[in-house]
Structure 1
Amino acid sequence: MSDTPTVALFATCFNDTMWPDAPRATVTLLERLGCRVVFPREQTCCGQMFTNTGYADEGTALVRRFAQVFDPFEYVVAPSGSCVGSVREQHAALARRAGDAGLERAAEDVAGRTYELSEFLVDVLGVTDVGAHFPHRVTYHPTCHSLRMLHVADKPLQLLRAVRGIDLVELPAAEECCGFGGTFAMKNADVSIAMGSDKARHVRETGAEVLVAGDRSCLAHIGGILGRQRAGVRTMHLAEVLASTEEDPA
């Protein structure tokens, strides 16, 4: 790794459209840690939503675009375990299905340089204390793709434990799915809401002020249920907490 690593921010389409504070916080955090961050404007969707619903041709077109846009960069970092999981687990497979060996090699190469935020901080930069300050009671939900596809393990918790002023409390049944699952939430709404309600109940049991996760999509699902319950729990992306300092609080 160079002394000043160049990082391409993969903002993800849903963050860019609905929750831009997460990618903004990612930039703030990485620059504070000495990275040079660039934002390739040609980036679009990783293709996960097409792939997961059976539109392989459309997904393959987005794999090709992703590989072209991010090929020049030393590292690609995204505030989303779900989208990074797609890049790592689906892109080469889609190219292989299409019979495009060149695209398969390109997809594998870029995937090897693509990281979810917490694993980039811990595994590549080698830091757990990022200089954050967040004096609130917090509980953390490990999202399914970060946990089961990327195997980030306790890296987000390592980072949160080092935050000054934080009161980090364990979430009961933390590894249970929240029920979002992308289109699963629309195709199986009753099951999704039941799972989300269980997760919201566990969040309330912690007495936390803030629920933190590495995927804004899951936070939207759980947060929507907590909001309808008037639970008084705020949802925040991990990047927002880690970017918070005493001088510039979140």
Structure 2
Amino acid sequence: MATSLTTQASLTVPRPRFLFPSNKLSGYNPPPRRSRGVTPRGSVKVEAKKGEWLPGLPSPTYLNGSLPGDNGFDPLGLAENPEDLRWFVQAELVNSRWAMLGVAGMLLPEILTKIGIINVPNWHDAATVEYFASSSTLFVIEFILFHYVEIRRWQDIKNPGSVNQDPIFKSYSLPPNEVGYPGGIFNPLNFSPSVEAKEKELANGRLAMLAFLGFLVQYNLTGKGPFENLLQHLSDPWHNTIIQTLSR
């Protein structure tokens, strides 16, 4: 019994005020307790400023990152004039598309010939093949056709939408579109010209332009096509490289 009373007394002993002051009596407001196991977390995302092709180098004021593929690359200031910039945007877009077609046309026939599916000359021998007409006749035909298409494209750049209707067959026309992305029969799969799609197209087009230049240099140095050069390199990677080729 005595032990029980002693224990109860020890449990009911009031705590000293100077150690545990009362909120009401002292005015002390203890800080809210943070629950254990909860740690505040923060994330920091570091990314390069959009519009800088070289980190730390400021971009020109007229290249503010609003255009697809705009990395601020214009060291010569060629696109400072807004009219020139509008033309260069369309010129790069068209050259990118031609480069992608050209690289595919240079590479795929060689691959398909190597594996025995078709038998066609390499791209650098295409001009020596006999076609249904002479080379001069084909040149004139291509010149006229390309001239007509380029004039129409130039008119669309100067006055967007002015060439959407066929000049001969009036019943044929293109839907309203953005310059450079005509849609209609030129977009049979109905892809949306989103910003992401435009970025990817330009990235692949720029790589294709570099690849096309590389194919030209390769042939002038080795006299072989790109696929044959690749197979030769893979057969002996340590000795069949660009360094050995240039040192010959």
TM-score normalised to structure 2 length: 0.21
Give the structure with the larger strand fraction: 1
With CA pairs under 8 Å and 6+ residues apart, which has the higher RCO, 1 or 2? 1
- Pair member with larger Rg: 2
- Give the alignment's TM-score, normalised by structure 1: 0.21
